[in-house]
Amino acid sequence: MREIELDGVRVADDTGAYVIAEIGHNHQGSLETARAMLEKARECGVHAVKLQKRSNRDLFTGAVYDSPYAGENSYGDTYGTHREALEFGEEEYLALKAFASELGLSFFATAFDFASADFLERISIPFYKIASGDLTNIPLLRYIASFGKPMILSTGGGTMDDVRRALNAILPVNSKVSVLQCTACYPVENYGEMNLEVIRTYRREFPEIVVGLSDHESGISMAVAAFALGARIVEKHFTLNRAWRGTDHAFSLAPSGLRRLVRDLERARQAMGDGVKRRYPSEEKPLFKMSKALVAARDLPAGHVIAGEDVAIKSPGDGLAPYEIERVIGRRLLEPLAEDAPFSLEGLAEG
């Protein structure tokens, strides 16, 4: 059975969706803003909040780190200073981890490099996210797998060979891994590129692995469709204001959207049902009015042998169902039957 435990929460085919609010760097480098985002995420009903951790000097080449970075979304004159302005250190991470615990939220992060993985392990996050850009970073995957904690692997921009290679590197070391379908475009504007059928492909290819969706569309409907296809982890970017400065805010969900997403995913879980076709008590009254019964087409005397033209099919459905018509035709009435009165098998004898 495919299942994974994320900070004490079991996630499997028979559970609802595990919803992650991806804060990333939408906190804009402000601890106060980050705390407010955690509070709002909790109010929306998510299970976990996620940040992104980078050791920028280790991650980027000198040329990229020192390259000019100007524009409305910039927090520094160079790309490096921009990134550093958005980066939290140990003090902020520990404060947010403790605050998340108070709120009943799981708190974790994406590790983009070895130093960041060590940092996150030092502060004891419960599980790890791997970004799509590191799907082919086998050394980093093996290193994080060696921690023995659950891993959530995004697969944007990858091929099936890339996904298999990544899992072949992780699984011999750590079986606690899940795979998310993802399209590494921010936001996804061509809905065909979301390719949600990959969720079913992953479920066939990896029958022991929980599958999910890292969702980069601007709305909420595709996550619900993904749940119906078998996704049980849903990650969605989150902000308090979609007009804030930064590249991710415009396609992130504000609290009202995130709240609706959580609500709709729970409704989808309930709506999936158990696959047994049945009639529900709530259907009885509408079906009585809408369904039909076999009734007399005109006044019929006792002893009359019923012919096809003697039978009408009318609402409400308070008598024999239309599929019983062959049991009525050719039989004899024991008592007279008025027009529109329903037939009954008890009122008929053999003709």
Four-residue CA torsion sign, 47, 162, 176, 274: positive
202 shares its domain with 66? yes
91 shares its domain with 153? yes
Q: Which two tokens stand for residue 170?
A: 């992780």
- Which CATH number do you get for residue 330? 3.90.1210.10
266 shares its domain with 290? no
For 266, the domain range is 3-272
Strand pairing class (311-314; 293-296): antiparallel
8 shares its domain with 120? yes
250 shares its domain with 297? no
pLDDT tens, residue by residue, 57-102: 999 999 999 899 887 778 888 888 888 888 999 999 999 999 999 9
Four-residue CA torsion sign, 72, 258, 29, 31: positive
Residue finishing a domain among 272, 297, 325: 272
129, 147 Cβ separation under 8 angstroms? no
Q: Which two tokens stand for residue 330?
A: 């050719």
101 shares its domain with 190? yes
CB atoms within 10 A of CB 319: 16
Number of structural domains the chain divides into: 2
What pLDDT sits at residue 75?
Answer: 87
Q: Closest Cα to residue 31, out of 101, 74, 89?
A: 89
According to DSSP, the residues that pair with 314 across neighbouring strands are 293
Amino acid at 44: C
What pLDDT sits at residue 242?
Answer: 78
Name residues of the chain where pLDDT drops below 70: 243, 245-247
Mention every residue, 6+ apart, whose C-beta is less than 8 A from residue 78.
65, 66, 67, 68, 69
Helix 90-103 vs helix 31-44: angle between axes, to the nearest 10 degrees? 20
124 shares its domain with 227? yes
249 shares its domain with 310? no
286, 279 Cβ separation under 8 angstroms? no
Mention every residue, 6+ apart, whose C-beta is less than 8 A from residue 255.
40, 43, 44, 240
What pLDDT sits at residue 126?
Answer: 98
What pLDDT sits at residue 71?
Answer: 77
What pLDDT sits at residue 246?
Answer: 67
What pLDDT sits at residue 341?
Answer: 97
What pLDDT sits at residue 245?
Answer: 67
218 shares its domain with 285? no
Q: Which two tokens stand for residue 30?
A: 């402000």
CA distances from 351 to 302, 305, 327 (A): 12, 6, 11
Mention every residue, 6+ apart, whose C-beta is less than 8 A from residue 118.
none
pLDDT tens, residue by residue, 214-226: 999 989 999 999 9
Residue finishing a domain among 272, 298, 333: 272
